[in-house]
Structure 1
Amino acid sequence: MITFNLWRKVKQKLRRSKRPIWQLASGLLVSAALLSAAFHTEGRIDAAPIHGDEAEAPAQTQPPEDGSRSVIATLSDMRAKITVKIRRVYICGSESETIGVLSSSETIRMMKQHPEWTALLDEQGAVVMEQRIDDLSESCKRSAYFGIDKLGRLSLFDGEPKKEKVMRTFFQLDVNYMESSLPKDRIDELVKGIRVTDKDAFNSVLSSFGDYAVERTEKVMKRTF
């Protein structure tokens, strides 16, 4: 041990020494100081030294920026005018229009006034602001029909299903189960097309035929058996 060896050397030195007592006292004081330093050093001998790089706090990981923040950061470095568009996305249908050519500061101000919107830069470098609306678009209100596509999926059509203009597909229908559970006129109605003109009618049809989705009927059969 460091302290034991040092103390033994001090005692040997005292036995051989013929110096005056005041010199011995000074030597003892110095030795005591050395012992104290050795004791404290030994207490932390296992601790690895901390270098400058290691002493720095670990860098905090920042959450990834969403699209709108990225667009704002890009616009902050620009001074030129930029084309701004808005796209309204409905539960059925979408509409787009060009707002105009604005400065970067005007565009950022608009985005901050509508934090619920998301934004992105399209291939032409225009800013496209996207607004989600929980309703049917005007065009859907005029021509939307629920029906069955060629693959047996519940789909939303622009016009009667026979025109085959699918706007949106929802889920695969268990046709056999549906035919054994529903009246024939209800199935015929779906085949010809069920007209929807508002959100309530849209949700009602989606909910009523949701019971015949393949995934749901498979879960019911697994619970039964």
Structure 2
Amino acid sequence: MRTKCVGCLGLLLLVFVFHTNYVLAEELKTTPRLEPIDVKVILERVYLDGEVSEEQMDEKIWSMEQFWSKYDQWQVVDIEDTSVVFRKHVDDISPLLKANGYFGITDDGVLTIYYGKPQKYNIIQSFFQLDIGKLESTRHEELKEGIPIRNKDRYVEVLETFKNYTVQEKQAN
């Protein structure tokens, strides 16, 4: 019987803590502040190509309700005493790729994105091994020269096109 009481007590304590935090949070939302809270806000944008941009700013919060509504399209990643990190997934390629991203191919046949025209030292991201034997010579030359990305549609189109030329793993018998 004693075990049930300890379990009930733990449950009551949990409900009390949750209720108290909820009441305090609601009070912070609705109570005008006499002094603002200084908070560092970090906004992380995650793009389709995996690139993450980060923007930092300092804010003075007078109303928690206004603060949270300002970032209602963002996901809270981390909250500390004086900072909040928000993240948003952007359905687009990064500004970096739009400005200077090129699809290309490495010497060993891997479809790759480069910063600028394809060269060994400017690789941003690698994807999959291409079967060079299946690849038409014009496609191979395009990749060696570099295919500018510029927008999301072009990014998806090139990935889909070259996915058909991937090396198929040989299955062991």
TM range (shorter): 0.5 to 0.7
User: Where do residues 155-174 of structure 1 align in structure 2 (5 Å cutoff)?
Assistant: 155-162=112-119, 164-171=121-128, 173-174=129-130
Pick the aligned partner of 1:187 from 140, 152, 157: 140
**Structure 1 unaligned residues grouped into runs of 5+:** 1-50, 61-72
Q: Identity of aligned pairs, percent? A: 26
RMSD over aligned Cα atoms:
3.4
Greater share of strand residues, 1 or 2? 2
C-alpha displacement of 1:148: 2.0
The count of residues paired between Structure 1 and Structure 2 equals: 147
Greater share of helix residues, 1 or 2? 1
The TM-score with structure 2 as length reference comes to: 0.66
Given that residues 45 and 53 in structure 2 are in contact (C-alpha distance below 8 angstroms), is that contact kept between their aligned partners in structure 1? yes
**Structure 2 unaligned residues grouped into runs of 5+:** 12-24, 29-35
Please give the alpha-carbon distance, in whole angstroms, between the structure 1 residues aligned to 2:141 and 2:44: 36
Residue in structure 2 matched with residue 149 of structure 1 by the alignment:
106
Please give the alpha-carbon distance, in whole angstroms, between the structure 2 residues aligned to 1:107 and 1:166: 39
The TM-score with structure 1 as length reference comes to: 0.53
Instruction: Evaluate the alpha carbon distance shift between residue 204 and residue 100 of structure 1 in structure 2; reply closer, same or farther with a 3 A threshold.
Output: same
3-state DSSP of counterpart to 1:204 = helix
Residue in structure 2 matched with residue 126 of structure 1 by the alignment:
83
C-alpha displacement of 1:119: 2.2
Please give the alpha-carbon distance, in whole angstroms, between the structure 1 residues aligned to 2:124 and 2:76: 23
3-state DSSP of counterpart to 2:133 = helix
Given that residues 143 and 158 in structure 1 are in contact (C-alpha distance below 8 angstroms), is that contact kept between their aligned partners in structure 2? yes
Given that residues 109 and 132 in structure 2 are in contact (C-alpha distance below 8 angstroms), is that contact kept between their aligned partners in structure 1? no
2:60 aligned with 1:102, yes or no?
yes
User: Relative contact order (alpha carbons < 8 A, sep ≥ 6): 1 or 2 greater?
Assistant: 2
C-alpha displacement of 1:198: 1.1
Q: Which amino acid aligns with 1:196?
A: I
User: Where do residues 71-82 of structure 1 align in structure 2 (5 Å cutoff)?
Assistant: 80-82=37-39
C-alpha displacement of 1:109: 4.3
Instruction: Evaluate the alpha carbon distance shift between residue 170 and residue 182 of structure 1 in structure 2; reply closer, same or farther with a 3 A threshold.
Output: closer
Residue in structure 2 matched with residue 89 of structure 1 by the alignment:
46
Residue in structure 2 matched with residue 53 of structure 1 by the alignment:
3
3-state DSSP of counterpart to 2:150 = coil
Pick the aligned partner of 1:137 from 82, 94, 97: 94
3-state DSSP of counterpart to 1:91 = coil
Residue in structure 2 matched with residue 197 of structure 1 by the alignment:
150
Map Cα deviations across residues 25-72 of structure 1 (whole Å, 9 max, x no partner).
xxxxxxxxxxxxxxxxxxxxxxxxxx2324656x88xxxxxxxxxxxx
